[in-house]
Amino acid sequence: APKEPPYPWSLEKHYKISKKILGTGSFGVVKECTDKRTGINYALKIINKRDIKGKEQMLTTELDVLKKVNHPHIVTLHDLFETNKAVYIITDLASGGELFYQLLLKGSYTEKDAANLVQQILKGVEYLHDHEIVHRDLKPENLLFSDKSENSNLMITDFGLSKILRNDNDILMTACGTPGYVAPEVLRQTGHGKPVDIWSVGVIMYTLLCGYTPFWGEDQQSLFDSILKGVYHFEDEYWSNISDYAQDLIDKMLAYDADKRITAKEALKHPWFHMAHTVDNFDL
């Protein structure tokens, strides 16, 4: 592995950096660190500038977004260091790991547990959308549990691909995001805004409840074709015991026409969340 540039002096003065690697992203590793003054643990994302040549704008975007957000369901920026070789981003530590990993372990979630998770994701998305931020890469790998406890908070991370909308009519034209969770209008390159996040939450909700994704293909092209058709099913074998409320909310989030798709605010009022008796242990 290529040698990492040395840590900036100011970083090492305030933080003890653990050897423990929490995860690896597209631009570098994420390590654990401890604030020497408070003893509180954080995540340290190291981005080597050599690896992001031409993508500096993406990084600037990520930092601008992180600086502005403060919400229980969004990983927030705590501190920032920069040298000419690398950028060091210190954020809330989400020690419970990725929802992706928990989903692999569990296979699928009960409606009650899924409703609890989807509600938290939607609250985070509602907050982002209220601040004119579209995440654009929502998927189980970018949803982290704050701790290992049973009622741990779920937090949205990884704003590397998100953009700050200048105004409501600003349409984002860049094709990006991750296959499987991206909305059809992203693939059609017809422009996309907030509704792309709701589509992704719809795919996440579907996947949490049954353990497999609604759109599927042998290769990337057939996956794209499947999303572009926008046809998915609630197969009896897996869905017969799942409520009509859940299926109704998924249908509203996976509305093919982005203009007709439910918003985060509307989705949070959906009866599924009441029916699934999830309001007992929630914040906000």
Catalytic-role residue among 92, 137, 158, 197: 137
Burial 173-204 (b: 16+ CB within 10 A, else e): eeebbeebbbbbbbbeeeebbbbbbbbbbbbb
Cβ closest to Mg ion, residue 99 vs residue 209: 99
Q: How many CB atoms lie within 10 A of CB 232?
A: 18
Residue least distant from Mg ion (Cβ): 158
Which parts of 36-70 are beta strand (E)? 41-48
Question: What is the distance between the alpha carbons of residues 103 and 121, in angstroms, rounded to a whole number?
Answer: 15
Give the interface segment with ligand ADP, choosing from 136-144, 173-181, 183-191, 270-278 (CB under 6 A): 136-144
For 92, the enclosing helix (H) or strand (E) is strand 86-92
Name the binder of 102 from ligand ADP, Mg ion, none, CB < 5-8 A by kind: none
Question: What is the distance between the alpha carbons of residues 175 and 258, in angstroms, rounded to a whole number?
Answer: 16
Active site residue 170: no
Rounded least distance, CB 181 to ligand ADP, Å = 13
Q: Is 158 in the site for Mg ion (CB under 5 A)?
A: yes
Q: What is the longest distance spanned by two Cα atoms in the chain?
A: 59
HSE-CB at 104 with a 13 A cutoff on CA atoms is: 7
Give the interface segment with ligand ADP, choosing from 17-25, 192-200, 226-234, 256-264 (CB under 6 A): 17-25
Per-residue x/- marks for ligand ADP, 42-71, CB under 6 A? -x-x--------------------------
Per-residue x/- marks for ligand ADP, 78-117, CB under 6 A? -------------xxxx---x-------------------
Of the residues 26, 57, 70, 190, which one makes contact with ligand ADP according to CB under 6 A:
26
Rounded least distance, CB 258 to ligand ADP, Å = 25
Name the binder of 126 from Mg ion, ligand ADP, none, CB < 5-8 A by kind: none
Question: What is the distance between the alpha carbons of residues 242 and 104, in angstroms, rounded to a whole number?
Answer: 20
Answer for the pair 111, 209: CB distance below 8 angstroms, yes or no: yes
HSE-CB at 191 with a 13 A cutoff on CA atoms is: 6
Name the binder of 93 from Mg ion, ligand ADP, none, CB < 5-8 A by kind: ligand ADP
Residue 92 tokens read as 């809330």
Cα-based angle 104, 28, 227 (whole degrees, multiple of 5): 50
In the complex, the residues that contact ligand ADP under the rule CB under 6 A are 22-27, 30, 43, 45, 75, 91-94, 98, 141-142, 144, 157-158, 160
Q: Which residues are catalytic?
A: 137
